[in-house]
Structure 1
Amino acid sequence: MSHPVALKRALISVSDKTGLIEFAQKLAARGVEILSTGGSAKAMREAGLTVKDVADVTGFPEMMDGRVKTLHPAVHGGLLALRDNDEHLAAMQAHGIGPIDLLVVNLYPFEETVAKGADYADCIENIDIGGPAMIRAAAKNHGFVSVIVDVQDYDALLAELDANDDHTTMGFRQRQAQIAYARTAAYDAAVSTWMAGAIGEETPRRRAFAGTLAQGLRYGENPHQQAAFYVTGDTRPGVASARQWQGKELSYNNINDTDAAFELVAEFDPANGPACAIIKHANPCGVAQGATAIEAYKRAFDCDTTSAFGGIVALNQPLDGATAEEIVKIFTEVVIAPDADEDAKRIFAAKKNLRLLTTGGLPDPTAAGMTFRQVAGGFLAQGRDNGHVTRDALKIVTERQPSEQELNDLLFAWTVAKHVKSNAIVYARDGATVGIGAGQMSRVDSTRIGRRKSEDMAETLGLAQPLTIGSAVASDAFFPFADGIEALAEAGAKAVIQPGGSMRDDEVIAAANRLGLAMVFTGQRHFRH
């Protein structure tokens, strides 16, 4: 079965008819007999092609609204028969079953139907049965049968036939069989995932997910690691759906950091003004709001000008020329925004290593969804962290009440802390971060790192004192001891937002009262590992 196989008879049944006529014409020109069904047969006949109905092969008409048409021994026998097995050949001869050398099938558009928000009945009706059955049969018998499930592989098949005198090689059939099984697996994964959601099954016994290759990557986090970028078809605006206007291909780290930056900046509603997030190694090094995009960028940049070099910039509003002019003053890896004007594109065009991505919109930070992380022997699945708090949900636990400005800054810092690696401490003033401590084993260390960064920036910017003095601070999780509150007071902070819930909350509150800090509890934490 490793020998080349002549292509004499093909079965074509496709939902996506892109390129179908030209492809079928080229097969017919090679003398290939074409079997088909329903709309595919109609389209090819209207183009002047000779097509034999599967119903004429099976002796049964399509029935039950097309649900039953290819589920028949005359079809599956032609796909599954081993051509070097005398018993199989005798069975084909006895039952009048002709061999099928090529199967071309793409499936009912189930994923697209779900994405359109169709109701339960419509989604069920768009679950293909005969298609996957034929695909799996053809792929199993790849020793003799070629299977094509993607329109993009039409040209690959034609090139294979050109190179091998209208035959297919074992290597080609093996590659196509692997693609075919991956397609049916992805299809079934989409169906099972949708159904789990439709029936409210939060932890299904088996969970499957799949992706389609978007690009091979030069390497992963490090040059010795192989990597690739796969997309799921999710319509959530972001790096996967963005248009890249210029620059070399994104790297593994670029994609990861750009996603982190855009998810963070999307927390800030454009209706409330421009916002900018600058990310380095998946952590924000500066986040700010402003009256204009350029003001938001400058204020975010001034939180940590050193770390911003070679970072990722995300905006919640379209990028304009003035902001682009400011961004290119230092080296930046990627800029992502909902859109960009022509001035911005022109300015960036002179920076060949700078990538500009536009998404057409912002992801909804409150939307549900799943995230996954591999561990040895399995993977963890959890809902996306779409938690938010409002002023009404805050519990003031100290003697001193936060001022209106402090409340604004507390909520701003809390929003940013959600996107900082734990243990996270975020100092903020007037809608901008002024110090960030991330990813430390000790919350006190994160507190000190944020303070030190603010002190360094005060020196860089020529300020009389660090901006942590008079700041509001967010902690992604509770303070287990009073020492964290004491460290914040030493940094000059005046207000704190934290989840609460520690066994020593009373001690922490007492420390805040003693030090004159206002403190509010959210009742919600934002660990990010």
Structure 2
Amino acid sequence: MHLRYGLNPHQRATAEPIGRPPFRMINGEPSMINLLDASNGWQLVAEARARLGRPVTASIKHVAPAGAAAAGPVDDVIMDSWPIEDAPTPVLSAYLRARDADPRSSYGDLVAVSDSVDLDLARFLGGVISDGIVAPGYEPGAVELLRRKKRGRFLIMEADPAAAHPAEELRQIGGLMITQQTDHDELTADLLPAQLDPGDRDTALLAMITARHTPSNTVVAARDGAAIGVAAGQQSRVDCTRLAVGKASAWWFRRHPTTRSVAGPPGTRRQDRLNLRLALATGDPTPLESGQLLDELGDRLPTAADRAAWLAGLDRVIMVHDGAIPFRDNVDHAARIGTTMIIEPGGSTAADTVEQACTEHGIALIRTGRRLFLH
């Protein structure tokens, strides 16, 4: 497989299959990053599809999911954000929910889809900024629609569900060749309490699988079968928790009536409007954005008390850590977004303190004994 380049344009690269290729190129010429995104994204959605029994999609950026979701209800905020007139198909609903987790990060993503791409999803992708897609199949006409993107350079890959994942992974680092077993341990409902509500069970499984396919340190906040805050690659676990909490808070505050009313200056493009709403939702606008929001909203700008009152309405959040929680501050931050369940491997020297913090906040603590590191 010819690659445009490796991680950077000045690095030449090639890709050769080991055994049966996991996917084939239908259109476009990938870089190494595109292949890494496609591989990680496809593994995520295929595993989640097998566990949840319904379509799953992921929005991948730099080998990490900006969002991941199963097919399900699409709320008015999502419908208002995009030019959607009819009720979305299951595959499209899954992608809308995945992209909604962090629409700013999903700009220019690689889309991973567990099921065949239908015409509705293909048409939708034709109107947003995205770099490529990987899926096990495409309904008649979908590929033709997608080929038109990026002046014919849109990456279209067809995954092979029958391709066996290698039993071992090889990585050459400097003068070392490292071999390890591929992480094939299954993440199933057996790791969760038997009495768990089916909806919470599916959300927990999706969050765990998303964490497994996100570079560590990883914290995933999820609700109603969709990730609403994915934090990746942080050196400090509490920083990772704060990032996931911040993303989930912004996701929720985008549903505030004032945020939804933001239109931006005349002529504002859809993505710029989304970014302006996100600036308001995060509470950290740039000076330019602050001026635009002040001009439009005036005394309707939300106060700190408004934000706190609205955030108090967020509930039923499930948070997954890929590694053991080292200090209770992670739990205290999680409690700010209505977290009702935290899932972690366990084994920290502060395990008792973490458990006590969960009890104080009324958060169920589940310890799976399963670490999910990815590097």
TM-score (norm 1): 0.54
Contact 1:425 1:438 in 2 (8 A): yes
Contact 2:48 2:205 in 1 (8 A): no
Letter in 1 for 2:45: V
Answering whether residue 322 of structure 2 is matched by residue 512 of structure 1, we say no
Contact 1:338 1:362 in 2 (8 A): no
Residues of 2 paired with 1:301 and 1:363: CA distance?
27
Q: Of residues 110, 132, 137 in structure 2, which corresponds to 1:312?
A: 110
Residues of 2 paired with 1:390 and 1:370: CA distance?
22
Residues of 2 paired with 1:256 and 1:436: CA distance?
18
Residues of 2 paired with 1:496 and 1:389: CA distance?
16
Residues of 1 paired with 2:112 and 2:196: CA distance?
30
Contact 1:261 1:279 in 2 (8 A): yes
Q: Larger Cα Rg: Structure 1 or Structure 2?
A: 1
User: Which consecutive unaligned segments of at least 5 residues does structure 1 have?
Assistant: 1-213
Residues of 2 paired with 1:303 and 1:517: CA distance?
23
Superposition pairs of residues 75-86 of structure 1, within 5 angstroms: none
CA distance 1:363–1:412, change in 2 (3 Å): farther
The two structures, once aligned, show a CA RMSD in angstroms of: 2.3
Partner of residue 263, structure 2: none
Superposition pairs of residues 15-54 of structure 1, within 5 angstroms: none
Partner of residue 43, structure 2: 263
Partner of residue 493, structure 1: 339
Answering whether residue 270 of structure 2 is matched by residue 470 of structure 1, we say no
Residues of 2 paired with 1:318 and 1:306: CA distance?
26
Once the two structures are TM-superposed, the CA of residue 500 in structure 1 deviates from its matched residue by 0.7
Contact 1:287 1:433 in 2 (8 A): yes
Partner of residue 302, structure 1: 100
Once the two structures are TM-superposed, the CA of residue 468 in structure 1 deviates from its matched residue by 6.0
3-state SS of 1:427 partner: strand
Q: Of residues 143, 148, 154 in structure 2, which corresponds to 1:354?
A: 154
Encode CA deviations 1:104-127: one digit per residue, 9 max, x unaligned.
xxxxxxxxxxxxxxxxxxxxxxxx
Q: Of residues 306, 324, 327 in structure 1, which corresponds to 2:125?
A: 327
Once the two structures are TM-superposed, the CA of residue 391 in structure 1 deviates from its matched residue by 2.9
Letter in 2 for 1:452: G
Higher relative contact order (CA 8 A, sep 6+): 2
3-state SS of 1:333 partner: strand
Residues of 2 paired with 1:413 and 1:334: CA distance?
24
Contact 1:454 1:467 in 2 (8 A): no
Partner of residue 211, structure 1: none
Contact 2:311 2:337 in 1 (8 A): no
Once the two structures are TM-superposed, the CA of residue 405 in structure 1 deviates from its matched residue by 3.3
CA distance 1:440–1:363, change in 2 (3 Å): farther
Partner of residue 526, structure 1: 372
The percentage of aligned residue pairs carrying the same residue is 31
Contact 2:66 2:106 in 1 (8 A): yes
Answering whether residue 222 of structure 2 is matched by residue 222 of structure 1, we say no
Partner of residue 223, structure 2: 429
Letter in 2 for 1:513: T
Once the two structures are TM-superposed, the CA of residue 402 in structure 1 deviates from its matched residue by 5.6
3-state SS of 2:133 partner: strand
Encode CA deviations 1:340-376: one digit per residue, 9 max, x unaligned.
0122123213221312111343656xx6611122223
3-state SS of 1:231 partner: coil
3-state SS of 2:227 partner: strand
CA distance 1:357–1:219, change in 2 (3 Å): closer
Contact 1:395 1:521 in 2 (8 A): no
Q: Of residues 179, 182, 189 in structure 2, which corresponds to 1:391?
A: 189
Partner of residue 274, structure 1: 55
Q: Of residues 24, 33, 47 in structure 2, which corresponds to 1:253?
A: 33
Letter in 1 for 2:232: A
CA distance 1:362–1:336, change in 2 (3 Å): farther
Encode CA deviations 1:360-395: one digit per residue, 9 max, x unaligned.
43656xx66111222232121111111223333346
Once the two structures are TM-superposed, the CA of residue 414 in structure 1 deviates from its matched residue by 0.8
Q: Of residues 469, 473, 479 in structure 1, which corresponds to 2:325?
A: 479
Residues of 1 paired with 2:372 and 2:147: CA distance?
39
Once the two structures are TM-superposed, the CA of residue 235 in structure 1 deviates from its matched residue by 2.0
Q: Of residues 141, 148, 152 in structure 2, which corresponds to 1:343?
A: 141
Encode CA deviations 1:488-526: one digit per residue, 9 max, x unaligned.
112321111111111221111111001100111111101
Partner of residue 131, structure 1: none
Encode CA deviations 1:419-450: one digit per residue, 9 max, x unaligned.
11111000111110010111001111111111
Partner of residue 242, structure 2: 448
Residues of 2 paired with 1:390 and 1:504: CA distance?
27
User: Which consecutive unaligned segments of at least 5 residues does structure 2 have?
Assistant: 73-89, 258-309
Contact 2:125 2:146 in 1 (8 A): no
Residues of 2 paired with 1:358 and 1:394: CA distance?
33
Once the two structures are TM-superposed, the CA of residue 279 in structure 1 deviates from its matched residue by 0.4
Residues of 1 paired with 2:4 and 2:155: CA distance?
17
Residues of 2 paired with 1:496 and 1:363: CA distance?
34
Partner of residue 382, structure 1: 180
Once the two structures are TM-superposed, the CA of residue 403 in structure 1 deviates from its matched residue by 4.6
Once the two structures are TM-superposed, the CA of residue 527 in structure 1 deviates from its matched residue by 0.6
Contact 1:476 1:525 in 2 (8 A): yes
Contact 1:276 1:293 in 2 (8 A): yes
Partner of residue 262, structure 2: none
3-state SS of 1:506 partner: helix
Superposition pairs of residues 91-102 of structure 1, within 5 angstroms: none
Alignment size in residue pairs: 303
CA distance 1:332–1:304, change in 2 (3 Å): same
Residues of 1 paired with 2:162 and 2:256: CA distance?
36
Q: Of residues 66, 70, 78 in structure 2, which corresponds to 1:289?
A: 70
TM-score (norm 2): 0.75
Letter in 1 for 2:154: L
Q: Of residues 399, 419, 424 in structure 1, which corresponds to 2:213?
A: 419
Residues of 2 paired with 1:467 and 1:252: CA distance?
43
